A = this chain, B = another copy of it.
Amino acid sequence: MFKKAIGQSYKAGLPPGSLVHVGELKSDTTEVTVCEYDKDFYRENKTSEPEECLSLLEKEAVVVWVNLDGLADIEMLQRIGDFFNLHRLTLEDILNNEQRPRQEAYENYTYVVLKALVYNDDQNRIDTEQVSIVIGGNYVFSACERKTELFDTLRKRLASDKSGIRKKGADYLAYAIMDIVVDGYFPVLEKVSGHLENLEELLLEKPEEKNLHAVHRLKREMLGMRQAVWPLREALIGLEKSDSIFIQTDNAFHLRDVYSHTVQIIETAEIYREILSGLLEIYLSSVNNRLNEVMKILTIFAAIFIPLTLISGIYGMNFAYMPELNWRYGYPFSLGLMAAVAIFMLLYFRRKKWF
């Protein structure tokens, strides 16, 4: 996640406004799904001629949702952009998958970028995928970086209309899309939470360097996540405050709901980062403690054996007159002396509570 944070997101020298892919192209197909509905009917079809089936756009009561899965086909994007009369900058932004989450009010539509998060289990990494949403009078145009199942349940809800979603306008549809993307953050955080608890146990149990590196990596993922989610907060505030005619006040409650979830995500991610910092401290103090242990063992060994060695050295001296050497029990005496010293030292360290 981190690596792409800056990626190739520049095209210095090119005229601002040329349609090229910026950042990694994650899919080489492009699939257009058009859903049309009002409270009485629902039609959904995959097409390569989106213009044709957009004829209903003129009827005000009908909501049209055009979704693009995969951005490989720049020409198709251009056609849709022309159809909805989108600003060239918007099309560029859709093709640049390194946008900061934000909203921008244009004259005839509102443009929202946000990031879907996907936990990559194989590499223990959080991947981001950019979701662009264009909200017009009675249409929503959304674009994802690759084929995704995120919106399948939403289409089912539209088809069955149990919750009366079809009675509501395009802005409610846009809200539902944002809600799905933001709700998708929770399972990612939960994976992180599990990973975190795992690491915590490992570190407290045996503080190995590789666990430290895992903490470091997780911290970086949280930094990347903050970068992906934090700006969304401002964008949602901006969306609510804007007097955009495309957002009806009725749906302000819903927006605030998404906002509240976003803030909760951010706060939780911050808390995870603080806990990770705490883990580093724990790790460092564990390493210090082990050093202490090692040094204690060394000291105990040295302090016990060095005096004994001295005793053996003394009785190994070659003086002509050393009375002990000729004692009958000189040898056992010297061994006893050594044992006494050793026991004394052991008691000394025991009293110091070293073991």
- Identify the A interface with B (CB < 8 A): 2-3, 5-18, 87, 89, 98-100, 102, 104, 106, 153, 157, 162-163, 165, 175-176, 179-180, 183-187, 189-190, 193, 197, 204, 206, 209, 212-213, 216, 219-220, 223-224, 227, 231, 253-254, 256-257, 260, 263-264, 267-268, 271, 274-275, 278, 280-292, 294-299, 301-303, 305-310, 312-331, 334-335, 338, 353
Contacts and interface: CB of A to CB of B under 8 A. Distances in A.
Copies of this chain assembled into the complex: 5
Contacts of A227: 267-268, 271
A316 B37 CA distance: 101
B309 A320 contact: no
A128 B291 CA distance: 40
A299 B294 contact: yes
Given A153-B13, A204-B213, A313 B309 contact: yes
A111 to B, nearest CB: 10
A77 B99 CA distance: 39
Nearest to A305: B306
A32 to B, nearest CB: 23
23 contacts: A2-B275, A6-B186, A6-B190, A7-B190, A102-B260, A206-B353, A212-B282, A212-B285, A216-B281, A216-B282, A220-B278, A227-B271, A231-B263, A290-B292, A294-B299, A297-B303, A302-B306, A306-B306, A308-B310, A312-B316, A314-B334, A317-B334, A320-B327
A162 B14 CA distance: 12
Contact of A314 (B16, B209, B323, B335): B335
Given A288-B288, A334-B319, A89 B257 contact: yes
A16 B184 contact: no
Given A253-B89, A313-B309, A223 B298 contact: no
Interface centre among A3, A197, A216, A329 (most CB of B within 10 A): A216
Contacts of A3: 193, 197
Contacts of A278: 216, 219-220
A106 to B, nearest CB: 7
A275 B12 contact: no
A163 B89 CA distance: 12
A257 B301 contact: no
Contacts of A264: 9, 98, 100
A313 B10 CA distance: 73
Nearest to A200: B216
A213 B219 CA distance: 20
